[in-house]
Copies of this chain bind each other. A is one copy, B any other.
Amino acid sequence: MDAAEFRRRGKEMVDFVADYQENIEHRRVYPDVEPGYLRSMIPSEAPLEPESYEDVLRDVDRVIMPGVTHWLSPHFYAYYANSTSFPSILADLLSSGIGTIGFTWAANPACSELETVMLDWLGKMLQLPEDFLSETQGQGGGVIQGTASEATLMALLSARLKTVKCVQESDPQRSEADIISKLIAYTSEEAHSSVEKASIIGGVVIRMVPTDEHFSVRAETLEKMVAEDKATGYIPFFFCATLGTTPCCAFDKIDELGPICNAENIWMHIDAAYAGCAFICPEFRPLLNGVEFADSFSINPNKFLLVGFDCSAMWVKKSADLTRAFQMDPEYLKHEHQGSGLVKDYMHWGIPMARRFRSLKLWFVFRMYGLRGLQAFIRKHVELAKTFENLVRGDNNFEICAEVVMGLVCFRLKGSDELNKALLKQITRTGKIHLVPCTLRGRFVLRFVVCGRTTELRHIQEAWKHITELSSKLLQNLFDHEGKEN
């Protein structure tokens, strides 16, 4: 395919994407396919000779689309969103078209520098303390990670190295392995599974901190655990706070946890993957109070800021904590400005060495929406969630299971877990809307997250109507069944 054909096919693909998104609400949001459906639909080997583009595109409709979970559908209320937008898609197309790879500054100066400045822009939108910004020429700065999992892992690994070095300073005889075997990390029992995964990768023990009645980690709980562990010879070194947990969007009390972490030399990382995006609205910013105590902080613009996956923004107070952990400079990656303090070689800031030109997505989206446009988007989602909450509260068969702060509503039928599982199964099988569950205090709960960029009031009302229709049938069956039994 040469450039001339690409012009034609590319424009067709733009229309294909536009058509897809314009008509997405008429598709079944959760696919009706069985495991292994795809293999039998395509050959078992790559073709020897080129095929026609028409055949490939036809197969997108025939093979791919029936098996897609439509994340961009207004009927999609699962997980947290991939909140992409057209400007983000354009920026990604540009990134693919330039085809550059970033790792050192020299590999693509524009890629490295735009990333630095965009993280400053976003940091200011969030009113982060100056310590976290690059423009102040201090020790802090931002970086784009692929996912929040990687941000958490980088924070934990950096904390591990920092603590090992710190312990060895006062006790030079002690081996790294011995110190690591005594390290202990903490996170909320409500935290994302990636925190536990990071501890396994890092080879350190992790303890889950119980939460209060609002599903928040509180200072006294952590304080007590830290004291216990120190008494038995452990070295508390890392606490991952969550702002906006995955199950119910709960918020750890970082303003009271931060001082403890600082006093105990515990690295505090804040995982605010979803909710952190909303801190660009002044009314939500108080939830971030205490960030000044953190060593690192991350949010996922791809969850709630109209930027497509993958884009996880991470800030650290002392970037050397990250970079010195993994600094490696083979000859083929050296360049004349390295070590000058003037440039950022982001390869030292993350797990993968290379990176796409992802800051373009942030730049396009920030400029095409403006801060006010992004705030309006977030507020609309929160308002729609409040509407759904009110619908649930107005129905005596249902209960709300956690405070609704942003775009997530946790709810359930009053009754058994089995009843709620049956309801979710019906919802999934019908495929008109898509939800996933969570467990709260041992109970099976349904999560309803406003996800779509194009989700409107009518979709919320339709979704609720659909849920109550399915639940009414279930309750009727249950009633009939119980009637027969009695």
Contacts and interface: CB of A to CB of B under 8 A. Distances in A.
Contacts of A176: 203
A10 B109 contact: no
A276 to B, nearest CB: 16
A50 B1 contact: no
Interface string A335-356: 0110010110000000111101
A189 B325 CA distance: 20
A414 B347 CA distance: 33
A268 interface: no
A194 B353 contact: yes
A231 interface: no
Nearest to A145: B352
Contact of A200 (B49, B326, B367): B326
A163 B331 CA distance: 33
A278 interface: no
Interface in A167-215: 175-178, 180-181, 192-194, 196-197, 200-203
A110 interface: yes
Count of identical protomers in the assembly: 2
Contacts of A363: 56
B108 A69 contact: yes
Contact of A47 (B360, B371, B447): B371
Contact of A177 (B46, B147, B203): B203
A17 interface: yes
A405 interface: no
A84 B98 CA distance: 10
Contacts of A387: none
Given A9-B90, A125-B46, A310-B354, A342 B101 contact: no
Interface in A105-129: 105-111, 113-114, 116-117, 120-122, 124-125
